[in-house]
Chain A
Amino acid sequence: MSQLDDVTSNDAEPMDGSKEAKTGLISSESKEIILQGLWKNNPGLVQLLGLCPLLAVSSTVINALGLAIATTAVLVLSNWIVSLVRHHVPKEIRIPIFVMIIASLVTCIELVMHAYTYDLYLSLGIFIPLIVTNCAIIGRAEAFASKNTPTLAALDGLMMGLGFSLVLLALGAIREVLGNGTLFHGAQALFGNLFGDITVHVFTTESTFLFAVLPPGAFVVMGFLIAVKNIMDKKA
């Protein structure tokens, strides 16, 4: 749980109990949540949570997109529900209860994907049920949702989910281009025949660069993404 403690001490404290007057369309509180989720405290690049699915399924953009949507949906709903029941949950057994909430949601998502996007369901395989174990989700439930109002918690879930999705998509795009020279290959698995085959051939080669598709390539590309973020933060 030490990971969760770190996350808690990082960002949740200033949010707690602050009731600022709303100014304009977005309150400064919401702005902070958006910034935290997308950039400053990005689950993939800064917290380094949920790396297992992040690295495992990001070999193509479409796989990445499928998992990104599923994870974001679970994150929003779990944050919202956890926040709704936060006053009724005994503190001592809150983690098992959070896990049960998340597990039920993941089961729903899994059944939906099984029904509507069967090809994607097959290609993501074990990583759909494994969303339950994504530390980013339980981390947000514990660090944010259990201490904030449902609206803020849902917004936080959405932003953390989007932050996670962006990293997943960037990783997927880089690995697919390097590995196969294509983009959006196999879009039918996610969208059906809505768009047809929208594969973009960036370049063609007889010998594909397998390293980018294999797990070690994911780690290396991930390292570069984190490095780029750190450089940008340093310059800003």
Chain B
Amino acid sequence: MKFALASSPFGRKMFKTPDLMRLVILCLLPGIFVQWYVFGWGNLIQIAIAGLFAVITEAVIVAIRQRPVLPTLRDNSALLTGVLLGISLPPYTPWWMTAIGIVFAILVAKHLYGGLGQNLFNPAMVAYVLLLISFPVHMTSWAPPEALMQNNVTLADAWSMITTGFSIDGYSLHQIKIAVDGTTMATPLDTLKTDLGHGLTTSESMAKPIFGTFAGYGTEWVSFAFLIGGLVLLKQKAIGWQIPVSFIAGLFLFALIGYLGDPDASASPLLHLFSGATMFAAFFILTDPVTASTTVRGRIIFGLLIALLTYVIRTWGGYPDAVAFAVILANMCVPLIDYYTQPVVYGSKKA
């Protein structure tokens, strides 16, 4: 009789890589849907472009490396990287920037390190950071939520913006961004940061139309939808609870300390949690099984570390949001964290 040997963890239900990746993409759908509802077609097109280039790049590199192409593509990991990047990018990023980012992610961040399972850094975040430091103007040009915009951006407009830089009627991104009251808008985190720099108080800044009930107008609901999708992922036991919980709790705690210390000059904890990439990253970026810490204690440290770095860079750094930088910095620490948090093997140490 032959017994099949499998390595730990001996889960009751084993996820195969393609199933896991598909589940993650399915759980992203509520967030993507709300993002579409609030911001229009831009991100859907970005997801399509990034996904397409991701799959093509993956196929070419795998063929060059003389590995089986179709089984590799079928694990959906490249597609997932593309989807994650497409969600993260500003909606009207020119298509070639998206392409550069995703090709760099798959080629350099993933395959040069040895492919799926070997990469040190989260490929989607590497692409995002590459684009952010290369094209700061485009990468911080977020259009405001559609309800606040003067011009209505149709699907054809969005496609035209991404491929040519101008809408069908010939408006540039800068003109499209003009809001109902004739001012241009940045993201909530960016607006707050600029206003605080100009001497406004938090409550004065948050009276602007870009802010909603408790965080950014529209963006709070996008974050909320990602939270729902993430909870499904958690319920399905596709990800462990440690990273999302420690990250969100950590960010809440650090933001609370800052807020209680100086409520007029710092963002509220709720704004931190429901703005920018917090919720999306907590469940879908940080929990990447390859680049995150693998031990239980290590995951808690990993989440807290990213929370601290995110808070520090958001508050005192040069960029309004910081999750991508924080994730990459924490990725570097993962081997160290894992080394010092290895569980003791039962019986190897006296109690």
Contact = CB atoms under 8 A, between A and B. Distances in A.
Interface size class of B (residues with CB under 8 A): 10 to 19
Interface stretch (B135-143, B202-210, B251-259, B302-310): B135-143
B133 interface: yes
B137 A207 contact: yes
B137 A211 contact: no
A211 B130 contact: yes
Interface of A: 207, 209-212, 214, 216, 220
A210 B133 contact: yes
Interface in B71-108: 94, 97, 100, 108
A220 B134 contact: no
Nearest to B134: A211
B89 to A, nearest CB: 14
Contact of B133 (A207, A216, A220): A216
B314 to A, nearest CB: 21
A211 to B, nearest CB: 4
Contacts of A207: 94, 97, 135, 137-138
Nearest to A178: B134
Interface of B: 94, 97, 100, 108, 130, 133-138
A207 B108 CA distance: 22
A210 B135 CA distance: 7
A210 B108 contact: no
B108 A211 contact: no
19 contacts: A207-B94, A207-B97, A207-B135, A207-B137, A207-B138, A209-B100, A209-B134, A209-B135, A210-B133, A210-B134, A210-B135, A210-B136, A211-B130, A211-B133, A211-B134, A212-B134, A214-B133, A216-B133, A220-B108
Nearest to A223: B112
B310 to A, nearest CB: 20
Contacts of B108: 220
A209 B94 CA distance: 13
What 4 A-B pairs have minimum CB-CB distances, sorted nearest first?
A211-B134, A210-B134, A209-B134, A207-B135
